[in-house]
Amino acid sequence: MPLTLISSPRFADHVTPPGHPERVERADVLDVVADRWRARGGRVIEPREATREELARVHEEAYLDALEATRGRAVMLDPDTFTSPQSLAVAALAAGAALSGLEAILQDGRAAAKDDGQVAAAAHSHRRALALVRPPGHHAEAGRAMGFCLHNNVAVAAAAALAAGLDRVAIVDYDVHHGNGTQHSFYRDSRVLFVSTHQYPFYPGTGAAGETGEGDGRGFTVNVPLESGCTDGDYALVCDRVIVPVLDEFAPELVLVSAGFDAHERDPLAHMRMSAAGFGALTARLAAAADRHAGGRLLLVTEGGYDLPAFGESLDVVVRVLAGEPVPELHEGAGPTGRGATAVHAVRDAQAGRWHAL
């Protein structure tokens, strides 16, 4: 089966205050998803903790020192973001899970490359991975925790991929909130393409279409701001007209996905109308792009998703799609509303002259 899951029961050891959306029960959902995959004979591996050196590729030393000072204590880092006595170790494990997934993909890719140069379906074996983690990471800035996030898990993985010698890494973030920390990590770096779909205007306030990067990185940040109320059809539209064409032009050697499921129609923290099937369809498009350009190298790292049944259903669909099963049928009323087309026009105006595919 061409998929590795990275999972650990230790993700339940990060405890947030009563009533907090990023609650311990989310770890139970992750465990169930991993157990189901394991029961099917799928590959599930335990993550390791990220090292200080690996975290410092993304985060400032002073910030890592400040986090270290919270070890063993319950601390409020900002109005939304908290630690408990085990949180620092769990956050290092979350970043380490992304790294473990990356290592599994790269190691299996090297093994496949030794197969006399033959191109076969088996060459893509285990070149897809899904890191089932909490706390999430994409809001964490170089020097600041925010938005439930302590370490920027996907940015740590992207930085590790660059350190391993890759030259073109794409990050696609379909969490309903803009991944400000990930954007800022690579805002001046043309080696990393960052593409984000997100409700806008909304928390954290960043992610306008006009935020396109600076210096050498100009044009390599592609923000797709979406009005509230977008459906599966709107997301499919912006994927087909913006995300996939830009990925095809960039031709990444690795595709990373910040896989947040809080754009689901039942999620309490946002106002979108995505379904579990819609997330499956979106993931299938990204997997196909990875197959075309990156030898199948695709790593998803979980972010948000705060209605527990919807979170579990969406993850189950994504796992099935990554395993090669057909994408489920979309429900009635999932067609585009016009909001997606509005976002496409905004992106084309902001990126004029940068991406020929647009």
| Residues recognised as catalytic | 139
- Give the C-alpha separation, 191 to 196, whole Å: 16
Partnered with residue 258 across adjacent β-strands are 173, 301
Cβ atoms within 10 Å, residue 49 = 20
Is 261 within 8 Å of 267 (Cβ atoms)? yes
Helix 25-39 × helix 308-322 angle, to 10°: 30
Listed as own residue / partner, the contacts of 282-286 with beta carbons closer than 8 Å and 24 or more positions apart are 282/174, 282/235, 282/236, 282/239, 283/257, 283/259, 283/318, 283/321, 283/322, 284/321, 284/327, 285/236, 285/239, 285/240, 285/243, 285/244, 286/172, 286/239, 286/243, 286/247, 286/255, 286/257
Phi first, then psi, for residue 141 (nearest 5°) are -90, 175
Q: Which residue has the tokens 């496949």?
A: 112
72, amino acid identity: G
Q: Which amino acid, 77? A: L
Residues 6+ apart with CB under 8 A from 103: none
Non-local CB neighbours of 294 within 8 Å, separated by 6+ positions: 252, 253, 254, 255
Distance CA 26, CA 9 (A): 11
